[in-house]
Structure 1
Amino acid sequence: MAGDLRGWRVSVLGGAVFAVCMTGTTLPTPLYPLYQEKFHFSELTVTVVYAMYAVGVIGVLLLAGNASDAVGRRPVLLWGLGCAAASGVCFLSATGLGWLYAGRLLSGFSAGLFTGAATAYVMESAPPGGASRATFVATAVNMGGLGCGPLLAGVLAQYAARPLYLPFAVHLALVACSVAVVLWLPEAVEERRPLRTVRPQRPGVPPRVRPVFGPAATASFVGFALLGLFTSVSPAFLAQSLDVTDHAVSGAVVALAFFASTGGQLAVGPIGVRRSLPLGCAGLLAGLAALAGALYRDLLALVVLSAAVGGFGQGLAFRGALSAVGGASPADRRAAVISSLFVVAYGGISVPVIGVGLLTEPMGLEGAGLVFIACMAALVVAAAGYLLRRPVTVGT
């Protein structure tokens, strides 16, 4: 019994550190309008600054995504916290656009390092028989941490002094506490190897997995693109089109999308993987439709509905995609296939959002958003249609 309690204490503390790291990755979201006002840059620049995060995540996943299997979980967690701290220092020191690019890139490095290492640590530290609850902890702290970032920054920016400094100072304090926690936590990897043995992971999809991978990756791409749109340009839309200049409100709307995603991921258990992918696609389509209505009619209620429904659909689709792709992959290729899925998903965070930024000047934010919605809706309808014709079978 005492061993179980210690195991859960270690697992939950590892999850708390995970949440702190992920909180930092979305911290700047409600602050982008303030940076625009300070440094005088366009919506396109906002989307490029935001997309630097995806560049950092993808780079680390490909080059060092399996590093913690060799050198241990704790060193990689400490490297990730170091990148998170360096990112916060960049934002605190920002006197020009270059600091924002560097801060977002370092933030991506921290998330890339934590994605595999922290998830594995939380699950490995749980006592025997606790795999399901440990998966819940890992899922909740990942998406919950992403949701806490804009909420924390929005509240501090609205109700406290120095809105471009205090959120990052608070996060740096949390990172410092997290370093102390990681130094106390036990190592989960028993047989460690030198860092030089780590090799870049080459993404790959075996032929037998491709029928499952195609619709799963498409749904993941659309889901992450929707979250990317909320995290990059939704504060500008709320301010320009709806006259919502309250940073706490804009942060809460973005947070809702991530919290709803957590709910969607947790719903995969009772719903089942076979149904979660097509139902997730339906949720994404409903979220896109609500967002189109919000852009066309300038209604805050529809923005909130889009965040809730689209976020839930994203969580349902993405966890279903991970389960389906992982179950269909041969054991010796599973890591490479899952890495490929993450690369596609994080591509969804960056490429479509930059497209919105490019279209904003000639078409306006609403017009660019409607083009984005039409393209993403076409993709998700194609994926859903394929899944209805050829339902996913897990474990084949």
Structure 2
Amino acid sequence: MTSPASPSSRDFFIAAAALLIAMVGTTLPTPLYAIYQQRLGFDASWLTIIFSIYAAGVIAALLAVGSWSDQLGRRPMLLAGLSMGAISAVIFLCTDSIGGLLIGRLFSGFSAGIMTGTATVAVIELAPRSWKNATLMATAANMLGLGLGPLLAGFTSQYLDDPLHLIFYVHLVLLLLAALGIAVIRETVKRPAQLKLGIQKPSVPASVRGVFISASIAGLAGFSVAGLFTSMVPSVMIHIMEARGGLVIGAVIGLFFVASIVGQASLQWLPKSQHMNLGCVGLMLGMISLGLSIATAQLLLLILAGLLAGIGQGMILRSGMGAVTASSPPDQKAAVTSAFFVVLYVSISVPVVAVGFSVQAFGLPHVGEFFASLVALVALLAMLSMKRVQSRQAAVSSAGN
């Protein structure tokens, strides 16, 4: 049960910063994979397995402990998420094998799984009452962290010494600062007399189900795009566009996530009934640009694809997350939010696995063009489905009046 005490701005920003720092760690390895491949001698199929291990860790954490903060409290689970990120960073500092990369990414997935559900709810609960954009702050912190990770790692790997280790030392320091901050913020949950902890079954209360399904359909398209950008785009830039600099690769991937924040922020000036539709249109235009960039080997078209697809994905994420959290019962917010993120991370992982195992058979250009077209089609179907849901809700509302 949420405490009625008035939240403070300090606690709100600390929780948002902790979420951002944790999510930075989940994308730090992205521009480093080319170096790992060169030093360890593994092929592109291993990148698929490494990413799949990360997604599996996220989903496992969401299902296993996603609802625990509704009983244990937000702070203990946030500290656990930051600890998982620190373990991942230590593993990356010590590893010199593919097995080490897999274990490091697994713990990174645990960190992301714990933080996404718990920290999103914590940021919203700790927001000052005068703030009307708490959901934007939570989702923006998530996306900005994902975008900063490849940008920072790309810079340190290209311009500073020790390209595979320095950035993880920096991240360990940031995680420690985040943990110190979380230790002093206000707890928003009162523990029940008897704890009931266990593995969460992906269930959603009946009162939330309609909103949840609608948001999940669009989220499927949006996070499929995120999966393609974090897994396929580095290979496209290296092998098709011959872009070798880690900073350039990190900047293009980071642009997608920064554009996501722009898309989220822009919703406050747009009609609420059109939020999902506009997001799906942005995804479709972005995927068309991605397909053309692969076909023509044009970096500018790839940048345009990241910009358009990121804006669309951001619109979908914010509107979907806002609707889901607003309609969830207070004592089930973390559980429902975690269930929503399970859907999103399944969406982000499936395209990665499919691309990885298709490239060797059909070649990167053909696979890239095909999956860009497929995601555009999913976005179109999501938009049409959303319109049907809105029409049905409007009919029910009219009948009730």
Matched, 1:37 2:38: yes
Aligned to 1:71: 72
Q: 1:211 to 1:227 in 2, by over 3 A?
A: same
Query: CA deviation digits over 1:149-168, x for unaligned, max 9?
Result: 01100010110011111111
Aligned to 1:270: 269
What's the offset of the Cα at 1:212? Answer: 5.3
Q: CA RMSD in A?
A: 2.7
* Structure 1 contact 64–200 (Cα < 8 Å) conserved: yes
Aligned to 1:241: 240
* Structure 1 contact 158–247 (Cα < 8 Å) conserved: yes
More off after superposition, 357-366 vs 386-395: 386-395
Q: 1:318 to 1:137 in 2, by over 3 A?
A: closer
**Paired residue type of 1:378:** L
More off after superposition, 229-238 vs 197-206: 197-206
What's the offset of the Cα at 1:194? Answer: 7.9
**Paired residue type of 1:181:** G
**Paired residue type of 1:223:** G
**Paired residue type of 1:279:** L
Aligned to 1:137: 137
Q: Which runs of 5+ in 1 are unaligned?
A: none
What's the offset of the Cα at 1:273? Answer: 3.6
Q: 1:12 to 1:95 in 2, by over 3 A?
A: same
Q: 1:82 to 1:339 in 2, by over 3 A?
A: closer
Separation in 1, partners of 2:284, 2:384: 12
**Paired residue type of 1:156:** T
**Identity fraction in percent:** 40
* Structure 2 contact 70–334 (Cα < 8 Å) conserved: no
Q: 1:57 to 1:258 in 2, by over 3 A?
A: same
Aligned to 2:163: 163
3-state SS of the aligned residue for 1:342? helix
* Structure 1 contact 87–107 (Cα < 8 Å) conserved: yes
More off after superposition, 155-164 vs 73-82: 73-82
Q: 1:339 to 1:186 in 2, by over 3 A?
A: closer
Separation in 1, partners of 2:172, 2:81: 13
Separation in 1, partners of 2:11, 2:210: 39
Separation in 2, partners of 1:122, 1:328: 17
Matched, 1:154 2:154: yes
Aligned to 1:217: 216
Aligned to 1:192: 191
Aligned to 1:359: 358
What's the offset of the Cα at 1:244? Answer: 0.7
Matched, 1:260 2:246: no
User: Scaled by the length of structure 2, what TM-score is found?
Assistant: 0.89
Q: 1:117 to 1:195 in 2, by over 3 A?
A: farther
What's the offset of the Cα at 1:248? Answer: 0.4
* Structure 2 contact 26–108 (Cα < 8 Å) conserved: yes
* Structure 1 contact 124–188 (Cα < 8 Å) conserved: no
* Structure 1 contact 69–189 (Cα < 8 Å) conserved: no
* Structure 1 contact 262–312 (Cα < 8 Å) conserved: yes
Query: CA deviation digits over 1:40-81, x for unaligned, max 9?
Result: 222221122112222111111111112122122221111111
Aligned to 2:12: 11
Separation in 1, partners of 2:127, 2:209: 33
Q: 1:100 to 1:126 in 2, by over 3 A?
A: same
- In the alignment of these two chains, the number of paired residues is 391
- After superposition, residues 361-376 of structure 1 pair within 5 angstroms as 361-376=360-375
* Structure 1 contact 294–302 (Cα < 8 Å) conserved: yes
Separation in 2, partners of 1:335, 1:152: 30
More off after superposition, 225-234 vs 197-206: 197-206
**Paired residue type of 1:35:** Y
What's the offset of the Cα at 1:127? Answer: 2.9
Matched, 1:380 2:379: yes
Aligned to 1:91: 92
**Paired residue type of 1:282:** V
* Structure 1 contact 70–192 (Cα < 8 Å) conserved: yes
* Structure 1 contact 12–137 (Cα < 8 Å) conserved: no
Q: Which runs of 5+ in 2 are unaligned?
A: none
Matched, 1:82 2:87: no
Aligned to 1:60: 61
3-state SS of the aligned residue for 1:197? coil
What's the offset of the Cα at 1:147? Answer: 0.8
Query: CA deviation digits over 1:52-111, x for unaligned, max 9?
Result: 222111111111112122122221111111100100011111211111111111111111
Separation in 1, partners of 2:320, 2:160: 41
Aligned to 1:112: 113
Query: CA deviation digits over 1:196-245, x for unaligned, max 9?
Result: 52233222357786665555323211211111111122112111111110
3-state SS of the aligned residue for 1:178? helix
Q: 1:322 to 1:181 in 2, by over 3 A?
A: closer
Q: 1:5 to 1:196 in 2, by over 3 A?
A: closer
Query: CA deviation digits over 1:13-44, x for unaligned, max 9?
Result: 22112111110011011111111111222222
- After superposition, residues 202-213 of structure 1 pair within 5 angstroms as 202-204=201-203, 213=212
* Structure 1 contact 150–251 (Cα < 8 Å) conserved: yes
Matched, 1:346 2:345: yes
Aligned to 2:49: 48
Separation in 1, partners of 2:261, 2:338: 21
User: Scaled by the length of structure 1, what TM-score is found?
Assistant: 0.90
Separation in 2, partners of 1:345, 1:293: 26
More off after superposition, 369-378 vs 294-303: 369-378
